Amino acid sequence: MSQDQSYTIEEVAQLLKVSKLTIYDLVKKGDLPVFRVGRQMRVDRADLQAYIQKRKTGTTPAMSPVATSPKNQSKIIISGQDLVLDIVAKYLEKRQTMKVLRSHEGSFNGVMAMYHGDCNIASLHMFDGDTGDYNTPYVKKIFVSHAFVLINVVSRRAGFYVQKGNPLQIHTFEDFKTKSFTFINREKGSGARSLLDEQLRIHEIAPSMIKGYTHEEMSHLDVASAVANGYADVGIGIEKIAKLIPVDFIPAVRERYDIVLLKTPENQQLIEAVKEILNAPDFQAEVAALGDYDISQMGQIMYETL
């Protein structure tokens, strides 16, 4: 099977003229089979055609190899971009009762996907300027009528991507007031965007003062690459990506990277599995070996409803 005979989740959403979250929901329910190429989910063209035909006529298409997984195998969708989530997925799949799929949404979009029932585990790193806290203020408001548990995965440094040598001498958010540069932003709903916007509010900096504020990219990697290639002078993201792209990293904050799960009877087994994995010495050792992660709070409950 070649990739030319398959589609990305985004392409399927465009073809069917629905949102990506709708497609992820079809995948989660087992209605639309997928396979993975690296970190990317793809849909075979024949499976998409079979899905459309079934909905059109009510007939049942022949089962494809992907669709013949055991009926007792749970499908879990984890939302978020950090590499550590791929390791979580690997450990969950080792249990053999869980098929894990990855959605690479930003923090807020991932949490809202969970709110609407489109993912099982959502990661987030959202700074609240009023409290100085990460994540907890947001999930308490979003899930005000839901029982949930917020668990720490790692802490990591976030800051500025600048060109090698930091020629513009960007060091703090105060420099946004006094220095002229071209910025490259993250999309609305991402954790990096919430950090930037909250810091601009705290420092009383109008977004309109920042050249390039409206230019958005969808990942830390894209932002760092844009800076490295000279399309922008400054971007915002996490430290680890700066080890992969030829940019300098200027730390600004240490952020808490958590995951949230809804406390439902259906999720009880999943919650216990995640807790066990995050507190397992072999898992913690594997994450620590990656470097640039603080695992001192890994597995700790940051907030939990009764």
How confident is the model over 247-255, as a mean pLDDT? 98
Sequential DSSP letters for 11-72: HHHHHHTS-HHHHHHHHHTTSS--EEETTEEEEEHHHHHHHHHHHHH-PPPPPPGGGGS-TT
Q: Is the pTM of this model over 0.95?
A: no
How confident is the model over 81-98, as a mean pLDDT? 89
pLDDT tens sequence across 105-152: 899 999 999 999 989 999 999 999 999 999 999 999 999 999 999 999
DSSP structure class, residue 97: S
β pairing state of 74-79 and 40-44 = unpaired
Instruction: For the beta carbon of residue 260, count every other beta carbon within 10 angstroms.
Output: 26
Element (H, E) at 107: helix 107-115
Q: Residue 66: is its pLDDT beyond 60? A: no
CA distance 303 to 241: 29
CA distance 161 to 81: 18
Spatial contact of 123 and 105, defined as CB atoms under 8 Å apart: no
CA distance 212 to 169: 18
CA distance 271 to 170: 42
pLDDT tens sequence across 173-197: 999 999 999 999 999 999 999 999 9
